[in-house]
Structure 1
Amino acid sequence: MRLPRLHRLAGRRVTAYGLDCAGYLALAVATVPAGLLLRRQRTFIERDLLVVSAVLPLAATGWATRVESGPASATGGKRRQQLVVRDHRTGCPPSTGATLLRNTVKILVPWQLGHIATITGITGGFDRNRPLTLVTTVASYGLIAAALATVALGDGRALHDRVAGTVVVEAASS
């Protein structure tokens, strides 16, 4: 049995995403002092944590949407890897709507599913086999695995590219 070949841009796309995630991590670390101050003020209930946890994924999604729909058509990681996002049908830079959909599927949904799984898990969800904890855990990892598999195999269009009608190509070929 022959193994499927990796798409030629898979390594560069994963590297670009890793670079972007390092930036998201820096943003998250920068919020630690505010979190510690808030923690001293009161005890959060699960609902509060779930609402607050959405702020960073929303910010990251908004930022990625803005830069991918702007003149660069790429996040910082993609620019470093000389990649750009294009409309799959026309080859033109994507619309704001397409990049918003793309980044919602790519960033917001898996990140927030992970937050929900973690928050409900640490508040007893894993001990009680709480359905919300189990479903969000499986869904977040499943979404990440599907995105990686679709980037690496076949035509290289990730799940979020397929949903949004976009494609990532080399900057020189655009």
Structure 2
Amino acid sequence: MVKNIAIVSLSSGTIGEAFAAHEVEIGIRRLKEYGLNVIMMPHAQKGIEYVKNHPEDRAKDLLQAFSDDSIDMILCAIGGDDTYRLLPYLFEHKELQKALNKKIFLGFSDTTVNHLMLHKLGLNTFYGQSFLADICEMDHEMLPYTATYFEELIRTGKIAKIEPSDVWYE
């Protein structure tokens, strides 16, 4: 079902930092192994300071990802602490409402604010994995529990039933 996946940095620019480059490389390779085309949105990898100081560009990336009919899924890079700063750029002139297309939106942590925004506009979203924390897992593969639900989501566009993990990682 999912063929093209857009990566957005709505809260933090961590994936644009040199110290995260090896993880980003793992994540992109892993997504490509699933047969996915990865589209890094224009400002997603501009780094922590740039992303922090330019909520208007983060909003542009989200609007562009929703507007692009070729994109099937929007995956948040990582959480953070200030995605609320996108609000004026998404709602002042109903920008998000106008751009909204039904597609998969996936992320967690600070992305909860984005989930609420999208819910208010009638879109069902998935609170779950992020690119950096889950897809870019530095082991040889993603954690099995994570992979199971991610694979179901990209294959079917939904998750039928969520079961708790029988393993706890620290």
The TM-score normalised by the length of structure 1 is 0.29
Q: Which has the larger radius of gyration?
A: 1
The TM-score normalised by the length of structure 2 is 0.29
Greater relative contact order: 1 or 2 (C-alpha under 8 angstroms, separation 6 or more)? 1
More helix by share: 1
